[in-house]
Structure 1
Amino acid sequence: MIDVDIRGRVGRFDLAARFEGHGVTALFGQSGAGKSTLTNMIAGLVTPSSGRISVDGTILFDADKGIDLPVQARRIGHVFQDARLFPHLSVRANLTYARWAGRRSGTRDFGEVVDLLGLTALLSRKPETLSGGERQRVAIGRALLSGPRLLIMDEPLANLDHARRNDILPYLDRLCVEAAIPILYVSHSIEEVTRLSNTLVLLSQGKTLAFGTVADMLAREDLVRVTGRREASALVSGTVTRIDSDWDLTHVDIGGAVLQIPGMAAEPGAPVRLRILARDVALATVPPQGLSIRNALAATIESIAGETGPYAEILCNLGGQRIRARVTRASVSDLGLQPGRSVTALIKSVAIDRGQDTPAPPV
């Protein structure tokens, strides 16, 4: 667990951050929101003017008690946008460097980290021969082998193209599940943070607007301006119930309702999370017939937002979970949509991209 309640200033930029996070905590905000300033304060590179920082009960900073652990004593592994590997060292030597330089014996087995990040075939190679995604995997491995009590990942995929991002995301999925240490994941990509994190912290202009579970944060209409209206979405959790091999469809129970997802790599019984974009959800007042859409699920409208402009954001309860739909205000009027009304939510199977399904990280 990470517990942060600090204030500080860097130049003319004021920061006031307060949040608690379990497992994987995502810091989300646009450029200039204060993400890097906050992580620098947590890492000990910048000193807050007041407040307290603790990780799993160990106090890293407490202004009132006069505690301010130096950088090395904080034992924080840091992964940056660029891998920052030593070009003259092999992958194996890069992996073990932090442990040697920090004089730490480490609690994590070298072979375990190599296997976790798929690095076995790379150990004898030099950084210049690696792809961007491979270099980032080595940087993550080096940070893990330093024996950290907290891992900060500062926009680790920002410098990768779409193909390289897709290559490394499955490794991050596994890392977030198996790392067994708190992870602070910094990004301005809502797709990444919803895929990987337990807790979502929203930053804007140096202030913490809100924090909580990812599903709860995405359900808040007042925060859509921060996450981005085009990216407005919902996160639902479920369990794989069966695989229809004839049609390559995976059935996911999300609490009584069942979603059919094409081409999803998962085994029956596996817990998964699915991100569903509001723009990919339509609503019907009567159960439709003769449609190609396979996901037509009973739902109840909870709220409708959107007083001006052409669109309305509708929050629906579906099997005890929430999904969001974006429809025109004209449709709201024509269909008589209002809170409490029963509707059928229509979700195209192809709209739930395989890249948006992920094992749920442990709390």
Structure 2
Amino acid sequence: MIDGAIERDALGILNRTFGYDEFRGPQAGIIAHVASGGDALVLMPTGGGKSLCYQIPALMRDGVGVVISPLIALMQDQVDALREFGVRAAFLNSSLGARDAAAVERAVVAGDIDLLYVAPERLLTSRCLDLLDQAKLALFAIDEAHCVSQWGHDFRPEYLQLAVLHERWPQVPRIALTATADALTRREIVERLALQSARQFVSSFDRPNIRYRIVDKIDPKRQLLDFVNGAHAGQAGIVYCASRAKVDDIAQWLSAQGIGALPYHAGLDGATRRANQARFLREDGLVMVATIAFGMGIDKPDVRFVAHLDMPKSVEGYYQETGRAGRDGEPAEAWMAYGLADVVQQRRLIEQSEADETYKRISSAKLDAMLGLAETIDCRRVRLLAYFGEASQPCGNCDNCLDP
């Protein structure tokens, strides 16, 4: 039962501070639960409005809401956006100089900050933990909670230590959030973050505005060009490639064909990556060619397509990467060129890895599920949602439904 006063308080903040008329989906229930002091695990697809699920309870409760996020590159943007709404927000990460960091720390202790964004490695320092001991804490929000999973491609070792929040501050509510987690990852989040008593809020994983298409890989460059020029000329998109060299090659090739393409991978220096990301976010109609190093937390609503020139290692990876399309709710397309050579190469990488047998077994199972999605002759959306434990009917909006 949602307390009426809590709901009115939450709705008032939604209206006055953020300028929205009403909550979407399960937002109201999540916010009321956390504002009342409960722990929560929230699985909500990209574009579902996860941020408000911790921002509003933090503003409703006394003290500072501490948001743990691995996305240092985006903290500045998140904090700037909140300040535009009049929210007293700040961040602590390695990009801040000593003087600026000290000013933020003083403001936290003085109670002058509503929301503090912190990278996990910063949070776990004795200096930061001691700082939080001196502050009044409203809540902890653990964003991108799937980073705790050792089986996922976004694994961050620091996330394994975040159970310290419950041990050190057992009375402070915690909300863990992710856009992608199968049953195994869900169990891992609960176990490693000590969220056994948390209420789980699981939204539908369906992104009905995304059309899924997978084609046989014959001449991938030409196929990609035909796809982009055919349905998406002049539109913003992301092209994922498995290697840095391929990213550079495809970005140069698309540019030579008259398409505004930018590369993004961990081998580029930080300044180039930041500049390319900023251009992609601010300018219209650019195509980002990237490894999976790009995208987590990227908030560009009008990405009209996501293309894969290599098959992802798992259905979660595919879902997360394709989910960066169409966040504005308008029609978008997820396109992949797939060949059996992709699978052979990935199996070889798993077999040759130094990892233990459990990791190899789980990696192989994840690859098999992805292969099943690529090879299916039935509705791709049904297959995709079934992976996350969700039953559905044929969608009428994937390649297999439209052209059986």
TM-score by length of 1: 0.34
**Which has the larger share of helix?**
2
Q: Larger % of strand: which?
A: 1
* TM-score, normalised relative to structure 2: 0.32
